[in-house]
Structure 1
Protein backbone atom coordinates (compact mmCIF):
# COMPACT_ATOMS: atom_id res chain seq x y z
CA UNK A 1 0.00 0.00 0.00
CA UNK A 2 1.26 3.49 -0.88
CA UNK A 3 1.69 5.73 2.17
CA UNK A 4 1.36 9.52 1.98
CA UNK A 5 2.28 11.84 4.85
CA UNK A 6 1.05 15.42 5.21
CA UNK A 7 2.92 17.58 7.73
CA UNK A 8 0.79 20.55 8.74
CA UNK A 9 1.14 23.29 11.33
CA UNK A 10 -2.46 23.44 12.52
CA UNK A 11 -5.72 21.50 12.29
CA UNK A 12 -7.63 22.55 9.13
CA UNK A 13 -4.44 23.49 7.20
CA UNK A 14 -4.40 20.19 5.31
CA UNK A 15 -8.14 20.18 4.62
CA UNK A 16 -8.05 23.74 3.30
CA UNK A 17 -5.05 23.22 1.03
CA UNK A 18 -5.28 19.60 -0.08
CA UNK A 19 -8.46 18.12 1.37
CA UNK A 20 -9.64 17.06 -2.07
CA UNK A 21 -6.27 15.55 -2.95
CA UNK A 22 -6.20 13.56 0.28
CA UNK A 23 -9.74 12.31 -0.35
CA UNK A 24 -8.74 11.26 -3.88
CA UNK A 25 -5.66 9.45 -2.60
CA UNK A 26 -7.70 7.66 0.05
CA UNK A 27 -10.28 6.71 -2.57
CA UNK A 28 -7.48 5.15 -4.64
CA UNK A 29 -6.28 3.02 -1.76
CA UNK A 30 -3.43 5.09 -0.34
CA UNK A 31 -2.83 5.19 3.41
CA UNK A 32 -2.87 8.90 4.22
CA UNK A 33 -1.60 10.34 7.51
CA UNK A 34 -1.81 13.99 8.53
CA UNK A 35 0.79 14.88 11.18
CA UNK A 36 -0.18 18.02 13.08
CA UNK A 37 2.45 20.10 14.88
CA UNK A 38 -0.03 22.02 17.06
CA UNK A 39 -3.62 22.08 18.28
CA UNK A 40 -3.86 25.87 17.86
CA UNK A 41 -6.37 26.78 20.55
CA UNK A 42 -5.27 28.90 23.49
CA UNK A 43 -8.24 28.21 25.77
CA UNK A 44 -7.89 24.89 27.57
CA UNK A 45 -11.61 24.16 27.28
CA UNK A 46 -11.50 24.53 23.49
CA UNK A 47 -8.47 22.32 22.81
CA UNK A 48 -10.50 19.07 23.05
CA UNK A 49 -13.04 20.53 20.60
CA UNK A 50 -10.31 21.42 18.12
CA UNK A 51 -8.79 17.95 18.39
CA UNK A 52 -12.20 16.34 17.99
CA UNK A 53 -12.90 18.50 14.92
CA UNK A 54 -9.65 17.30 13.33
CA UNK A 55 -10.53 13.67 13.99
CA UNK A 56 -14.06 14.13 12.61
CA UNK A 57 -12.71 15.82 9.48
CA UNK A 58 -10.23 12.97 9.04
CA UNK A 59 -13.09 10.48 9.11
CA UNK A 60 -14.80 12.36 6.29
CA UNK A 61 -11.69 12.76 4.12
CA UNK A 62 -10.31 9.28 4.82
CA UNK A 63 -6.98 9.99 6.52
CA UNK A 64 -5.69 9.39 10.02
CA UNK A 65 -4.32 11.97 12.45
CA UNK A 66 -0.90 11.85 14.09
CA UNK A 67 -0.38 14.50 16.79
CA UNK A 68 3.29 15.52 16.81
CA UNK A 69 4.65 16.21 20.31
CA UNK A 70 1.43 14.57 21.57
CA UNK A 71 -0.50 17.73 20.73
CA UNK A 72 1.08 19.73 23.58
CA UNK A 73 1.63 22.93 21.59
CA UNK A 74 -0.59 25.65 20.15
CA UNK A 75 1.91 27.52 17.97
CA UNK A 76 4.91 26.21 16.05
CA UNK A 77 6.97 29.10 17.41
CA UNK A 78 6.82 27.41 20.83
CA UNK A 79 9.15 24.73 19.48
CA UNK A 80 12.88 25.35 18.91
CA UNK A 81 13.99 24.74 15.33
CA UNK A 82 16.09 21.71 16.23
CA UNK A 83 13.14 20.12 18.06
CA UNK A 84 10.79 20.75 15.15
CA UNK A 85 13.22 19.04 12.75
CA UNK A 86 13.50 16.13 15.19
CA UNK A 87 9.71 15.76 15.24
CA UNK A 88 9.56 15.73 11.45
CA UNK A 89 12.43 13.23 11.29
CA UNK A 90 10.58 10.96 13.71
CA UNK A 91 7.21 11.01 11.97
CA UNK A 92 8.74 10.41 8.52
CA UNK A 93 10.73 7.48 9.92
CA UNK A 94 7.59 6.10 11.58
CA UNK A 95 5.30 6.40 8.54
CA UNK A 96 7.91 5.71 5.81
CA UNK A 97 5.84 7.50 3.16
CA UNK A 98 6.34 7.54 -0.59
CA UNK A 99 5.53 11.26 -0.57
CA UNK A 100 5.54 14.03 2.04
CA UNK A 101 3.20 16.98 1.47
CA UNK A 102 3.67 20.17 3.48
CA UNK A 103 3.58 23.97 3.52
CA UNK A 104 5.52 26.21 1.13
CA UNK A 105 8.38 28.17 2.71
CA UNK A 106 7.14 31.33 0.96
CA UNK A 107 3.89 31.28 2.97
CA UNK A 108 2.72 34.44 4.77
CA UNK A 109 2.10 32.63 8.10
CA UNK A 110 5.15 32.37 10.36
CA UNK A 111 4.19 28.94 11.73
CA UNK A 112 3.77 27.60 8.21
CA UNK A 113 7.15 28.98 7.15
CA UNK A 114 8.99 27.47 10.12
CA UNK A 115 7.39 24.09 9.58
CA UNK A 116 8.13 24.16 5.85
CA UNK A 117 11.78 24.93 6.54
CA UNK A 118 11.96 22.15 9.08
CA UNK A 119 10.56 19.66 6.58
CA UNK A 120 13.09 20.86 3.99
CA UNK A 121 15.88 20.41 6.55
CA UNK A 122 14.61 16.95 7.45
CA UNK A 123 14.37 15.92 3.79
CA UNK A 124 18.13 15.36 3.65
CA UNK A 125 17.48 12.17 5.63
CA UNK A 126 14.95 10.75 3.16
CA UNK A 127 16.30 11.42 -0.37
CA UNK A 128 14.18 8.68 -1.91
CA UNK A 129 10.92 10.17 -0.64
CA UNK A 130 8.97 12.65 -2.73
CA UNK A 131 8.36 16.18 -1.46
CA UNK A 132 5.35 18.25 -2.53
CA UNK A 133 4.19 21.61 -1.15
CA UNK A 134 0.89 23.48 -1.02
CA UNK A 135 0.51 27.25 -1.12
CA UNK A 136 -0.77 29.74 1.47
CA UNK A 137 -4.25 29.17 2.85
CA UNK A 138 -4.59 32.90 3.47
CA UNK A 139 -5.98 34.37 0.25
CA UNK A 140 -5.74 38.00 1.33
CA UNK A 141 -1.96 38.44 1.19
CA UNK A 142 0.22 39.22 -1.85
CA UNK A 143 2.22 36.05 -1.26
CA UNK A 144 -0.77 33.90 -2.19
CA UNK A 145 -0.39 35.02 -5.80
CA UNK A 146 3.33 34.26 -5.78
CA UNK A 147 2.89 30.53 -5.29
CA UNK A 148 3.58 28.87 -8.65
CA UNK A 149 2.04 25.41 -8.98
CA UNK A 150 3.33 22.70 -11.28
CA UNK A 151 0.92 19.94 -10.24
CA UNK A 152 -2.86 20.22 -10.46
CA UNK A 153 -5.04 17.53 -8.91
CA UNK A 154 -8.62 17.26 -10.23
CA UNK A 155 -11.01 17.09 -7.26
CA UNK A 156 -14.42 17.46 -8.92
CA UNK A 157 -15.78 14.40 -7.15
CA UNK A 158 -14.09 15.24 -3.83
CA UNK A 159 -14.87 18.96 -3.49
CA UNK A 160 -18.09 18.55 -1.53
CA UNK A 161 -16.36 16.12 0.81
CA UNK A 162 -13.60 18.65 1.39
CA UNK A 163 -16.12 21.35 2.29
CA UNK A 164 -18.00 18.98 4.58
CA UNK A 165 -14.75 18.24 6.42
CA UNK A 166 -14.04 21.94 6.84
CA UNK A 167 -17.45 22.44 8.46
CA UNK A 168 -16.24 20.26 11.34
CA UNK A 169 -14.20 23.23 12.54
CA UNK A 170 -17.27 25.36 13.24
CA UNK A 171 -17.76 24.91 16.96
CA UNK A 172 -18.85 27.35 19.67
CA UNK A 173 -16.08 29.66 20.85
CA UNK A 174 -13.55 28.68 18.17
CA UNK A 175 -10.48 30.84 18.53
CA UNK A 176 -9.72 31.30 14.84
CA UNK A 177 -11.46 32.55 11.71
CA UNK A 178 -13.77 29.92 10.26
CA UNK A 179 -12.82 28.62 6.78
CA UNK A 180 -14.48 30.63 4.00
CA UNK A 181 -16.40 27.98 2.08
CA UNK A 182 -17.20 30.31 -0.82
CA UNK A 183 -13.49 31.09 -1.23
CA UNK A 184 -12.63 27.37 -1.11
CA UNK A 185 -15.14 26.68 -3.85
CA UNK A 186 -14.02 29.60 -6.01
CA UNK A 187 -10.32 28.74 -5.67
CA UNK A 188 -10.94 25.10 -6.59
CA UNK A 189 -12.80 26.18 -9.69
CA UNK A 190 -10.09 28.69 -10.60
CA UNK A 191 -7.41 25.99 -10.38
CA UNK A 192 -9.67 23.71 -12.38
CA UNK A 193 -9.75 26.21 -15.24
CA UNK A 194 -5.97 25.89 -15.52
CA UNK A 195 -6.21 22.22 -16.42
CA UNK A 196 -9.63 21.94 -18.02
CA UNK A 197 -11.64 20.44 -15.14
CA UNK A 198 -14.38 21.88 -12.96
CA UNK A 199 -12.35 21.80 -9.71
CA UNK A 200 -8.71 21.20 -8.78
CA UNK A 201 -6.06 21.81 -6.14
CA UNK A 202 -2.66 23.30 -6.95
CA UNK A 203 0.64 21.97 -5.59
CA UNK A 204 4.36 22.39 -6.14
CA UNK A 205 6.57 19.37 -6.73
CA UNK A 206 9.96 19.86 -5.07
CA UNK A 207 11.24 16.30 -5.49
CA UNK A 208 9.68 13.16 -6.94
CA UNK A 209 11.45 9.90 -7.67
CA UNK A 210 9.71 8.03 -10.47
CA UNK A 211 9.02 4.87 -8.47
CA UNK A 212 7.69 6.77 -5.45
CA UNK A 213 5.29 9.20 -7.16
CA UNK A 214 1.78 9.93 -6.01
CA UNK A 215 -0.28 6.95 -7.20
CA UNK A 216 -2.11 7.73 -10.40
CA UNK A 217 -1.44 11.47 -10.18
CA UNK A 218 1.96 11.97 -11.83
Structure 2
Protein backbone atom coordinates (compact mmCIF):
# COMPACT_ATOMS: atom_id res chain seq x y z
CA UNK A 1 0.00 0.00 0.00
CA UNK A 2 1.33 3.46 -0.87
CA UNK A 3 1.17 6.44 1.51
CA UNK A 4 -2.16 7.38 -0.06
CA UNK A 5 -3.92 4.03 -0.01
CA UNK A 6 -6.78 2.49 -1.92
CA UNK A 7 -9.59 3.52 0.49
CA UNK A 8 -9.19 7.21 1.18
CA UNK A 9 -11.47 9.32 3.36
CA UNK A 10 -11.25 13.11 3.11
CA UNK A 11 -13.03 14.90 5.96
CA UNK A 12 -13.93 18.55 5.34
CA UNK A 13 -15.67 21.12 7.50
CA UNK A 14 -17.51 22.78 4.60
CA UNK A 15 -18.29 22.24 0.92
CA UNK A 16 -15.34 23.35 -1.29
CA UNK A 17 -12.70 22.83 1.45
CA UNK A 18 -11.59 19.48 0.03
CA UNK A 19 -11.72 20.62 -3.58
CA UNK A 20 -9.61 23.70 -2.82
CA UNK A 21 -6.95 21.89 -0.82
CA UNK A 22 -6.77 18.45 -2.42
CA UNK A 23 -8.95 18.51 -5.52
CA UNK A 24 -6.03 17.45 -7.70
CA UNK A 25 -5.06 14.72 -5.26
CA UNK A 26 -8.62 13.36 -5.26
CA UNK A 27 -8.70 13.35 -9.07
CA UNK A 28 -5.33 11.57 -9.21
CA UNK A 29 -6.52 8.96 -6.70
CA UNK A 30 -9.81 8.23 -8.43
CA UNK A 31 -7.98 8.21 -11.73
CA UNK A 32 -5.85 5.29 -10.57
CA UNK A 33 -8.88 3.43 -9.23
CA UNK A 34 -8.77 4.33 -5.55
CA UNK A 35 -12.04 4.45 -3.61
CA UNK A 36 -12.28 8.04 -2.36
CA UNK A 37 -14.99 9.35 -0.05
CA UNK A 38 -15.30 13.04 0.81
CA UNK A 39 -17.30 13.57 3.99
CA UNK A 40 -18.55 17.11 4.62
CA UNK A 41 -19.56 17.99 8.16
CA UNK A 42 -21.63 21.13 7.51
CA UNK A 43 -23.39 22.84 4.62
CA UNK A 44 -22.16 26.27 5.80
CA UNK A 45 -24.89 28.15 4.01
CA UNK A 46 -28.10 29.59 5.42
CA UNK A 47 -31.31 30.46 3.64
CA UNK A 48 -32.74 33.96 3.67
CA UNK A 49 -36.06 35.51 2.66
CA UNK A 50 -34.48 36.75 -0.55
CA UNK A 51 -32.47 33.55 -1.18
CA UNK A 52 -34.46 30.60 0.24
CA UNK A 53 -32.57 28.03 -1.84
CA UNK A 54 -29.02 28.81 -0.71
CA UNK A 55 -28.51 25.55 1.19
CA UNK A 56 -29.88 23.34 -1.56
CA UNK A 57 -27.78 25.11 -4.18
CA UNK A 58 -24.58 24.59 -2.19
CA UNK A 59 -25.44 20.95 -1.69
CA UNK A 60 -26.00 20.65 -5.44
CA UNK A 61 -22.64 22.36 -6.08
CA UNK A 62 -20.84 19.83 -3.89
CA UNK A 63 -22.57 16.98 -5.69
CA UNK A 64 -21.58 18.41 -9.06
CA UNK A 65 -17.95 18.77 -7.91
CA UNK A 66 -17.98 15.14 -6.74
CA UNK A 67 -19.13 14.04 -10.18
CA UNK A 68 -16.20 15.93 -11.73
CA UNK A 69 -13.54 14.53 -9.37
CA UNK A 70 -15.02 11.04 -9.18
CA UNK A 71 -15.39 10.67 -5.40
CA UNK A 72 -18.30 9.58 -3.27
CA UNK A 73 -19.87 12.44 -1.32
CA UNK A 74 -21.17 11.91 2.22
CA UNK A 75 -23.00 14.52 4.28
CA UNK A 76 -22.21 13.89 7.93
CA UNK A 77 -25.42 13.89 10.02
CA UNK A 78 -27.31 14.20 6.71
CA UNK A 79 -26.09 17.77 6.27
CA UNK A 80 -28.25 19.13 9.09
CA UNK A 81 -25.57 21.42 10.53
CA UNK A 82 -24.39 24.80 9.27
CA UNK A 83 -21.16 25.36 11.24
CA UNK A 84 -18.78 23.11 13.17
CA UNK A 85 -18.83 25.67 15.98
CA UNK A 86 -22.50 24.86 16.54
CA UNK A 87 -21.52 21.36 17.72
CA UNK A 88 -19.77 20.34 20.95
CA UNK A 89 -16.41 18.74 20.18
CA UNK A 90 -17.44 15.45 21.79
CA UNK A 91 -20.40 15.32 19.39
CA UNK A 92 -18.10 15.87 16.40
CA UNK A 93 -15.85 13.04 17.61
CA UNK A 94 -18.87 10.74 17.93
CA UNK A 95 -19.96 11.58 14.38
CA UNK A 96 -16.45 10.86 13.12
CA UNK A 97 -16.28 7.57 15.01
CA UNK A 98 -19.46 6.48 13.24
CA UNK A 99 -18.14 7.73 9.90
CA UNK A 100 -14.88 5.79 10.13
CA UNK A 101 -16.77 2.67 11.21
CA UNK A 102 -18.83 2.90 8.02
CA UNK A 103 -16.13 3.85 5.53
CA UNK A 104 -13.23 1.87 7.07
CA UNK A 105 -10.50 3.79 5.21
CA UNK A 106 -6.79 3.03 5.11
CA UNK A 107 -6.00 6.75 4.73
CA UNK A 108 -7.67 9.82 6.25
CA UNK A 109 -6.99 13.37 5.07
CA UNK A 110 -8.42 16.40 6.87
CA UNK A 111 -7.68 19.94 8.02
CA UNK A 112 -4.45 21.12 9.63
CA UNK A 113 -4.85 21.92 13.31
CA UNK A 114 -2.88 25.15 12.81
CA UNK A 115 -5.49 26.57 10.40
CA UNK A 116 -6.80 30.11 10.80
CA UNK A 117 -10.46 29.05 10.57
CA UNK A 118 -11.96 27.98 13.91
CA UNK A 119 -14.28 25.46 12.26
CA UNK A 120 -11.29 23.84 10.54
CA UNK A 121 -9.30 23.67 13.78
CA UNK A 122 -12.18 22.12 15.73
CA UNK A 123 -12.63 19.47 13.06
CA UNK A 124 -8.88 18.78 12.90
CA UNK A 125 -8.80 18.24 16.66
CA UNK A 126 -11.81 15.92 16.48
CA UNK A 127 -10.14 13.88 13.72
CA UNK A 128 -7.05 13.49 15.93
CA UNK A 129 -9.30 12.27 18.75
CA UNK A 130 -11.05 9.82 16.42
CA UNK A 131 -7.67 8.40 15.37
CA UNK A 132 -7.43 6.63 18.75
CA UNK A 133 -9.60 3.79 17.46
CA UNK A 134 -7.75 3.40 14.16
CA UNK A 135 -4.02 2.91 14.89
CA UNK A 136 -3.51 1.14 11.55
CA UNK A 137 -4.78 4.09 9.47
CA UNK A 138 -2.52 6.73 7.91
CA UNK A 139 -3.57 10.28 8.83
CA UNK A 140 -2.60 13.40 6.87
CA UNK A 141 -3.59 17.06 7.04
CA UNK A 142 -4.02 19.69 4.32
CA UNK A 143 -3.22 23.35 4.85
CA UNK A 144 -5.35 26.50 5.06
CA UNK A 145 -7.34 27.51 2.00
CA UNK A 146 -7.33 31.19 2.99
CA UNK A 147 -4.03 32.57 1.67
CA UNK A 148 -4.56 36.03 3.17
CA UNK A 149 -3.82 34.90 6.72
CA UNK A 150 -0.44 34.34 8.37
CA UNK A 151 -1.30 30.69 8.95
CA UNK A 152 -1.15 29.96 5.24
CA UNK A 153 2.54 30.81 5.08
CA UNK A 154 3.21 28.82 8.26
CA UNK A 155 1.96 25.55 6.80
CA UNK A 156 4.95 23.49 5.63
CA UNK A 157 4.10 20.30 3.71
CA UNK A 158 6.03 17.12 4.35
CA UNK A 159 4.51 15.38 1.33
CA UNK A 160 3.80 16.75 -2.14
CA UNK A 161 1.28 15.11 -4.44
CA UNK A 162 1.90 15.90 -8.13
CA UNK A 163 -1.34 16.80 -9.90
CA UNK A 164 -0.20 15.58 -13.31
CA UNK A 165 -2.92 16.30 -15.83
CA UNK A 166 -5.56 16.97 -13.16
CA UNK A 167 -5.17 20.74 -12.74
CA UNK A 168 -7.97 21.36 -15.22
CA UNK A 169 -10.17 18.79 -13.46
CA UNK A 170 -9.66 20.58 -10.14
CA UNK A 171 -10.56 23.90 -11.79
CA UNK A 172 -13.77 22.40 -13.22
CA UNK A 173 -14.75 21.05 -9.81
CA UNK A 174 -14.17 24.43 -8.15
CA UNK A 175 -16.16 26.21 -10.83
CA UNK A 176 -19.22 24.29 -9.61
CA UNK A 177 -19.24 26.64 -6.60
CA UNK A 178 -19.66 29.76 -8.72
CA UNK A 179 -23.39 30.31 -9.16
CA UNK A 180 -25.87 33.18 -8.78
CA UNK A 181 -26.89 33.98 -5.21
CA UNK A 182 -24.04 32.20 -3.43
CA UNK A 183 -23.71 33.47 0.13
CA UNK A 184 -19.92 33.21 0.39
CA UNK A 185 -16.99 35.01 -1.20
CA UNK A 186 -16.26 34.00 -4.78
CA UNK A 187 -13.35 31.60 -5.11
CA UNK A 188 -10.09 33.09 -6.39
CA UNK A 189 -9.26 30.32 -8.84
CA UNK A 190 -6.25 32.09 -10.33
CA UNK A 191 -4.58 32.32 -6.92
CA UNK A 192 -5.39 28.68 -6.15
CA UNK A 193 -3.71 27.65 -9.40
CA UNK A 194 -0.72 29.88 -8.64
CA UNK A 195 -0.16 28.20 -5.28
CA UNK A 196 -0.48 24.77 -6.89
CA UNK A 197 2.22 25.77 -9.39
CA UNK A 198 4.42 27.01 -6.55
CA UNK A 199 4.05 23.69 -4.72
CA UNK A 200 4.89 21.92 -7.96
CA UNK A 201 8.00 24.03 -8.50
CA UNK A 202 9.26 22.93 -5.09
CA UNK A 203 9.38 19.31 -6.28
CA UNK A 204 10.02 19.75 -9.99
CA UNK A 205 6.54 19.20 -11.37
CA UNK A 206 4.10 21.64 -13.03
CA UNK A 207 1.61 21.60 -10.13
CA UNK A 208 1.24 19.83 -6.80
CA UNK A 209 -0.67 19.89 -3.51
CA UNK A 210 0.94 19.71 -0.09
CA UNK A 211 0.10 17.56 2.93
CA UNK A 212 1.52 16.97 6.38
CA UNK A 213 1.88 13.38 7.56
CA UNK A 214 0.47 13.06 11.07
CA UNK A 215 0.81 9.30 11.28
CA UNK A 216 1.92 6.67 8.79
CA UNK A 217 2.07 2.98 9.49
CA UNK A 218 3.55 1.24 6.45
CA UNK A 219 2.00 -2.03 5.46
CA UNK A 220 4.01 -5.10 6.44
CA UNK A 221 4.46 -8.43 4.71
CA UNK A 222 1.90 -10.98 5.83
CA UNK A 223 4.43 -13.10 7.76
CA UNK A 224 5.52 -10.05 9.76
CA UNK A 225 2.02 -8.74 10.43
CA UNK A 226 1.07 -12.06 11.99
CA UNK A 227 3.39 -11.26 14.92
CA UNK A 228 1.88 -7.82 15.65
CA UNK A 229 -0.11 -7.58 18.89
TM-score by length of 1: 0.95
Question: Following TM superposition, by how much is the alpha carbon of 1:209 offset from its aligned partner in structure 2, in angstroms?
Answer: 1.3
Pairing 1:166-205 to 2, within 5 Å after superposition: 166-205=174-213
Q: 2:125 matched to 1:117?
A: yes
Question: For 2:182 and 2:204, how far apart are their aligned partners in 1?
Answer: 37
Match of 2:41 in 1: 37
1:122-143 Cα distance to aligned partner (Å, 9 max, x none): 1011010000000000000001
Which of 28, 32, 35 in structure 2 is aligned with 1:28? 32
Question: Following TM superposition, by how much is the alpha carbon of 1:156 offset from its aligned partner in structure 2, in angstroms?
Answer: 2.8
Question: For 1:106 and 1:186, how far apart are their aligned partners in 2?
Answer: 22
Match of 1:13 in 2: 17
Match of 1:79 in 2: 87
Question: For 2:6 and 2:156, how far apart are their aligned partners in 1?
Answer: 27
Match of 1:47 in 2: 55
Which of 155, 162, 170 in structure 2 is aligned with 1:147? 155
Q: Which runs of 5+ in 2 are unaligned?
A: 221-229
Question: For 1:7 and 1:132, how far apart are their aligned partners in 2?
Answer: 11
Question: For 2:162 and 2:185, how far apart are their aligned partners in 1?
Answer: 27
- Provide the aligned length of Structure 1 versus Structure 2: 212
Question: For 2:71 and 2:29, how far apart are their aligned partners in 1?
Answer: 9
Match of 2:227 in 1: none
Match of 2:225 in 1: none
Secondary structure of the residue that 1:85 maps to in structure 2?
Answer: helix
Question: For 1:106 and 1:27, how far apart are their aligned partners in 2?
Answer: 30
Question: Following TM superposition, by how much is the alpha carbon of 1:2 offset from its aligned partner in structure 2, in angstroms?
Answer: 1.9
Pairing 1:99-110 to 2, within 5 Å after superposition: 99-110=107-118
Q: 2:101 matched to 1:93?
A: yes
Question: For 2:184 and 2:200, how far apart are their aligned partners in 1?
Answer: 28
1:53-98 Cα distance to aligned partner (Å, 9 max, x none): 0000000001011100110011001111111000111111110001
Secondary structure of the residue that 1:169 maps to in structure 2?
Answer: coil
Match of 1:216 in 2: none
Secondary structure of the residue that 1:190 maps to in structure 2?
Answer: helix
Which of 116, 130, 134 in structure 1 is aligned with 2:138? 130
Give the number of the structure whose alpha-carbon radius of gyration is greater. 2
